Amino acid sequence: MSDREIHWWSTIETAQRIAAKEVSSREVLEHMIDRADRLDGSINAIIQHDLDRARATADAADAAIAAGQPLGPLHGVPMTVKDSFQTEGCITTSGASELANFIPLEDADPVARLRDAGAVIWGKTNLPIWAGDIQSYNEVYGTTLNPFNPDRTCGGSSGGSAASLAMGFTSLEVGSDIGGSIRVPAHYSGVVGHKPSFGIVPSHGQIPGMPGTLSQADIAVAGPMARHVDDLELAMDILTGPDRWNAPGWSVDLPAPRKEAAGDLRVAAWIDDPSYPVDSDTKRVLTDLARTLTGAGVSVDTGARPGFTLEKAVDVFQRLLYAALSGGHPREKLDHMAADSSDTPLGNVKRNTAMRHRDWLSNHERRLQIRKQWEEFFHDFDIMLMPVQPRDAIEHDHSEPQFDRTVMIDGVQRPYTDLFTWIGPAGVAYLPATVVPVGMSSAGLPIGVQIVAPYLEDRTALHFAKLVSELCGGCPRPAAAG
């Protein structure tokens, strides 16, 4: 790699070179801006700019280095941020026309933490309206395309984040995940992403809810995306901590990886399941991964399972997921949803969105039973490998209503909701999951794997993800990125 291929440097390398005065923060920033100006027209990943402030911040970062001042871990590193996170002084819409001119007065908590660490935030990246789909399109900014194939989606809801990384417009992003919104775009666009354990990364200031909302939705998390797992680890060190309510008395001290040597880790692989089958490309790539790991001295058990079925976990996950998304609906609409008795994917979504609290409590107990079964499973294993999706990136489909859509999986027409299945077992149980690309489909699209670890053992998932990424060659580069 040429020293001038700044766009492919890792976040850590960029910060080190800026601190060593090998390159200035301003030079890196201008390089990234120029690259996006030249290449993003065919992708539409970056939809807002904050260039005047970014340039002033980069110049201040360079002056601080010249003055010998203390530096943060991201000092002078330019980056883009998902447009669901409020950024002080810069339009933040979450893809909603109602917020097309909304300029926040303060940063969302993850954005503030990144700035405090020295990051120079210069652009916002696209997403679906209200971060509510696994495709990234909206009426405000249009559609973001997959860098590997413009006929396919880059994923969602952190799709612009993933596309920005894949194209080399940024080395670090912050995404959010309630229904796979970090994991799916990482899988579709060939980058790495980490869904943290629930509750360890405060995300106050993300939209939705509406600006001013102080609550955090069940299952929802914020977490980093990058092209290098080391950068995910660095970002987790910055983002992890107590929220505004618990900061006076709580701290977060995540345990070290369970084992240092990969060969000492006990790994299981849940590659396929008859209730929600994956396609032949996905099965081939993940089976090859298991063989590669075995060849590297890692013991992989492809038959071990926790004490619940995938079907049960998906059912509980989808019930609680849609209940968690109910907050923005008026009472009259929820009553109308609750009355829908149709036996269709959309009917199920409506009823779960309108769930009564007593029903939520019942499903929450079912969730806790799943968490306990995961806990027992992780007495015998350290890692579970799982598909992210049952297939590679889907074709664009913006038809409404969303949950009447269908997808093709190995030539079989399946409900759109089948795309929300394999992300369920980790999501509903609040578990950490790191996604890294591990191969390509026959259509030339990336395929990733979920590396799931026990609750609060994010460092175990990330540690193992580094081994997997090294064995599989890291993140592929799309031809569109030059």
Token pair for residue 102? 């909304």
Single out the residue of 129, 144, 131 nearest to residue 97, CA to CA. 129
Contact criterion met (CB below 8 Å) for 83 and 128: no
Angle at Cα 412 formed by Cα 411 and Cα 414, nearest 5°? 135
Class for domain 262-474, per CATH? alpha beta
How many helices and strands, by DSSP H and E, does the chain display?
Answer: 14, 17
342 labelled catalytic: no
Instruction: Note the pLDDT of residue 170.
Output: 98
Could you give the CA distance from residue 23 to residue 353 in angstroms, rounded to a whole number? 51
Kindly tell me the sign of the dihedral angle through the C-alpha atoms of 434, 372, 370, 267: positive
- pLDDT tens for 257-315 read 999 998 899 999 999 999 999 999 999 999 999 999 999 999 999 999 999 999 999 99
- pLDDT tens for 342-361 read 888 888 888 888 889 999 99
Token pair for residue 3? 């020293």
Task: Strands of 339-419 (E only): list them.
Answer: 383-387, 406-409, 412-415
Instruction: Note the pLDDT of residue 78.
Output: 98
User: Start-end ranges of CATH 3.90.1300.10 in the chain?
Assistant: 6-239, 262-474
- pLDDT tens for 183-210 read 999 999 999 999 999 999 999 999 999 9
The pLDDT confidence band at residue 393, using thresholds 50, 70 and 90, is very high
Contact criterion met (CB below 8 Å) for 476 and 192: no
Measured between alpha carbons, how far is residue 330 from residues 129, 132, 326, 353, 392 in Å? 18, 17, 9, 12, 36
Could you give the CA distance from residue 244 to residue 34 in angstroms, rounded to a whole number? 38
Instruction: Note the pLDDT of residue 330.
Output: 76
Kindly write down the DSSP assignment for every residue of 163-206, as one continuous string. HHHHTTS-SEEEEEESSSTTHHHHHHHT-EEEEPPTTSS--TTB
Instruction: Note the pLDDT of residue 422.
Output: 98
The pLDDT confidence band at residue 249, using thresholds 50, 70 and 90, is very high
Instruction: Note the pLDDT of residue 3.
Output: 62
Instruction: Note the pLDDT of residue 2.
Output: 53
Token pair for residue 403? 């949950």
Backbone phi, psi, residue 181, to 5°: -75, -10
Give the mean pLDDT of 374-393.
98
The pLDDT confidence band at residue 395, using thresholds 50, 70 and 90, is very high
Token pair for residue 398? 């913006």
Kindly write down the DSSP assignment for every residue of 37-55, as one continuous string. HHHGGGT--EEEE-HHHHH
The architecture of the domain spanning 6-239 is: Alpha-Beta Complex (3.90)
Measured between alpha carbons, how far is residue 91 from residues 104, 110, 140, 158 in Å? 7, 17, 12, 17
Strand-pair partners of 221: 177
Where is average pLDDT lowest: 58-67, 235-244, 348-357? 348-357
* pLDDT greater than 70 at residue 240: yes
Measured between alpha carbons, how far is residue 39 from residues 25, 142, 175, 287, 374 in Å? 21, 17, 22, 35, 44
> Is the preceding omega at residue 263 within 30 degrees of 0, hence cis?
no
* pLDDT greater than 50 at residue 1: no
* pLDDT greater than 80 at residue 329: no
- List the catalytic residue out of 24, 94, 181, 189: 181
Percent of the chain's residues with pLDDT above 70: 99
280 labelled catalytic: no
- List the catalytic residue out of 94, 157, 171, 176: 157
97 labelled catalytic: no
- pLDDT tens for 43-60 read 999 999 999 999 999 999
Residues in the chain: 482
Average pLDDT, whole number, for the chain?
Answer: 96
Angle at Cα 419 formed by Cα 126 and Cα 288, nearest 5°? 100
- List the catalytic residue out of 24, 25, 82, 94: 82
* pLDDT greater than 90 at residue 336: no
